[in-house]
Amino acid sequence: MPASDLIKKTATEMVSLLKSGEVTPLDCLDALEARIPEVEPAVNALPTLCFERARDAAKALMAKPVAERGLLAGLPVAIKDLLNVQGVRSTQGSPIYADLIPDASDLAVTNLEDAGGVIYAKSNTPEFGAGANTFNEVFGPTLNPWDISKSCAGSSGGSAVALATGTAWLASGSDLGGSLRNPASFCGIVGFRPSPGRVAKGPGALPFANMSTEGPMGRTVRDVALMLDAMSGQHPVDPISLAKPAVPFVTSTDSLPAPKRVAFSLDLGGITPVDPEVADLVTAAAKRFEDMGCIVEEASPDFTDVQEIFQTMRALAFAATKKGLLDTHKDLLKPEVIWNIQKGLDLTTAEIMEAELARGRLYHRVEQFFRSYDLVLCPATIVPPYPIEQRFVESCQGHTFSNYIEWCTVAYAFTCASVPAISVPAGLTKSGLPVGLQIAGPPRGEAQVLAAAAKYEDLVGWATDLPIDPRAPKG
């Protein structure tokens, strides 16, 4: 099968071809190696390639019977550059680690390889994943393929762009303030933040921390479900990791019924402004749930104190993990990272204590809300893709944000609530830029979220439009 045909197929289709023997893992790598030069110079999504390592892994898999090659059966997977891959340059988007070659992989990478994934590339990310715009001093910016003058968001921007342009079938991401969901929204793909512990990770400095999660990214909801099955599972390295579900996510995605009652809110109870064009597209997307037979009502959990919770907990994590770098390499850190570390160092015991207590109250309010509603629908991002030169969104609808991450409130509200949330395409703006619909579910409700997202995807048929070639600015 020609390489140009393979890159158009979904990950689910590719795994079927791999398991049937119609294509081999080496065929997949050849297709990617042919596609990358066609698009990569224009977008800079995959700055680090490791095809020699990938081919060695592919040949090792091919020495086994097809039935023993794992869930992914040799499908190539791109890894976000915040995760270490053994023997591969792993920079975290920072000049401090520009030449780091780790001698061990992160557990999330190892689990993907154990499931038959073949690692062939590292995707670009902002320094330490800080900021929802993918640029750094090591590799430069990653550009949005729908309009290469625009940001692809972040911090999993390289993964999202690789998926949108056909240089990846599956890619890893991570999410603290929306780092999976923001780039999915900006690039017209699917990004899923699962419940904390659903994807084992580590070893890390804060193994009990549960604000940031690893998660799957793909072109379709079913591709994301497949990757989540490959990533999930309990492991002693990660003390909060969860066991695999009794029913695989690929099964529950197609077997669970449509939700009965869903809540819809553009601004999650008034905690964020929303661009009018985004509001129109997301409202129209939410109405499609009525076509599934759902009752759609305007309602939202109470997220009143989410700013204090998120900003405090995020700053505390930055201080705990990055203070040493501030002491020794301040000249190499970007301003936003320095600000976040210092904010954490300046926190008082009373502020940390109140944030922890407030997050507990928030969790219980949200959990109670999901006893009345199956899902919450809202924007995944509050603006369309913005100019790449702009470091972050500074204002929206007359509201000026207090810091570089506040514009992502609509995403990190669900982070603080510790519930799963997915971004799926809602449509295109008048200028042809993607906007995402966010679907959030109850605690550990990944199966419900994926099933509803798949039904929505079947209604709108978006996945048939990918991959795309990078597009020049209009006009």
Side chain identity at residue 30, one-letter code: D
Q: With a cut of 90, say whether residue 81 has pLDDT above it.
A: yes
Cis omega (within 30 of 0) on the bond before 203?
yes
Mean pLDDT of 18-44: 98
- Let me know if 18 is exposed, middle or buried by CB neighbors in 10 A (0-12, 13-18, 19+): buried
Euclidean distance between CA atoms 19 and 11, whole angstroms: 12
Q: Is the pLDDT of residue 269 over 90?
A: yes
pLDDT at 462: 79
Indicate if the pLDDT at residue 78 is higher than 90. yes
Enumerate the active-site residues. 80, 155, 179
Domains and CATH numbers, the chain: 3-306+349-465 (3.90.1300.10)
Check residues 17 and 2 and name the one with the higher pLDDT. 17
Helix (H, G, I), strand (E, B) or coil at 276: helix
Look at residue 4 in the predicted model and tell me its pLDDT: 83
Q: What pLDDT digit, counting tens, does each position of 164-223 carry?
A: 999 999 999 999 999 999 999 999 999 999 999 999 999 999 999 999 999 999 999 999
The residue to which tokens 């982070």 are assigned: 415
What pLDDT is recorded for position 428?
96
DSSP characters for 396-421?
ETTEEPSSTTGGGHHHHHHHHHT--E
408-457 residue pLDDT tens: 999 999 999 999 999 999 999 999 999 999 999 999 999 999 999 999 99
Rounded (5°) CA angle 64-68-69: 80
Question: Tokens representing 368?
Answer: 């109670």
Mean pLDDT of the chain: 97
pLDDT digit string, tens, across residues 330-370:
999 999 999 999 999 999 999 999 999 999 999 999 999 99
pTM given for the model:
0.98
283, pLDDT greater than 90: yes
What are the pLDDT digits (tens) for 215-242? 999 999 999 999 999 999 999 999 999 9
Q: For residue 475, is pLDDT > 70?
A: no
Residues in Cβ contact with 311 at an 8 Å cutoff, skipping those fewer than 6 apart: 343, 403, 405, 406
